[in-house]
Amino acid sequence: MLDAIEAKYELINGQEVMMSPANIRHNMVQGNLIFIMGSYLKGKHCELFFGVMVRFDALNHFIPDLLIVCDRDKIKANYIEGAPDLVVEILSPSTGKRDVGYKKNVYEHFGVREYWIVNPKDLSIEVYHLKEGRFELDDRYTVWDEWDAELLSEKEKAEHRLTLKVSLYDDLEIEVKEIFEDLV
């Protein structure tokens, strides 16, 4: 029995799958993203959500860790109907395989424009953009410590991007280290 914790389920390929409680690292990353994106989006057209059901079709109802919706017609009283513009999934040991496999394929199929897979364990983010109906890896962003940086060539250091640009807005850039603040 879960007592005070409300059980949440996703419908994945027609099967009810109970979501695991998030660990502290997951919650810290999610909180950082909510603060950063929520502050930016205040007063703008698109809306940030977390803990909200997204209904893609009769077989697939997901609760992404974060999502941004720009088409307000998709926002219903208790859920989002159809593909958000941006979806963020924060990996955990129990959900990682689904997030990078089945769910990623559903997000692609239904037209999510941008998909982030955030890994709090290795402090990385893979960003995918939808191009011609297929997800294409934009980049993999990582927080490096001094030890890692010493092992890189000058070319590798120059290619490493310290900020992540959100494709929905021309001026929304996030420092990768801010996403993982207090984890490093």
Give DSSP secondary structure letters for 92-137: -TTTHHHHHTHHHHHHHHHT-SEEEEEETTTTEEEEEEEETTEEEE
Angle 68-6-83 from CA coordinates, rounded to 5°: 20
Q: In the prediction, which pLDDT does 8 show?
A: 83
Q: In the prediction, which pLDDT does 97 show?
A: 77
Q: Cβ contacts of residue 81 below 8 Å, gap of 6+? A: 55, 74
Residue 155 structure tokens = 């070319």
What are the pLDDT digits (tens) for 23-61?
899 999 999 999 999 999 999 999 999 999 999 999 999
Q: What are phi and psi of 141, to 5 degrees?
A: -100, 140
pLDDT at 88 over 90: yes
What pTM does this model have?
0.89
What are the pLDDT digits (tens) for 127-159?
999 999 999 999 999 887 666 666 667 776 666
Of 143, 116, 146, 118, whose CA–CA distance to 130 is shortest? Answer: 116
Q: Is the dihedral of CA 55, 16, 19, 143 positive or negative?
A: negative
Q: Which domains does the chain have, with CATH numbers?
A: 9-179 (3.90.1570.10)
pLDDT-derived band at 20, boundaries 50, 70, 90: confident
Q: Read off the pLDDT of each residue in 159-164 and give the average, rounded to a whole number.
A: 76
Of 79, 65, 61, 84, whose CA–CA distance to 14 is shortest? Answer: 61
pLDDT at 113 over 70: yes
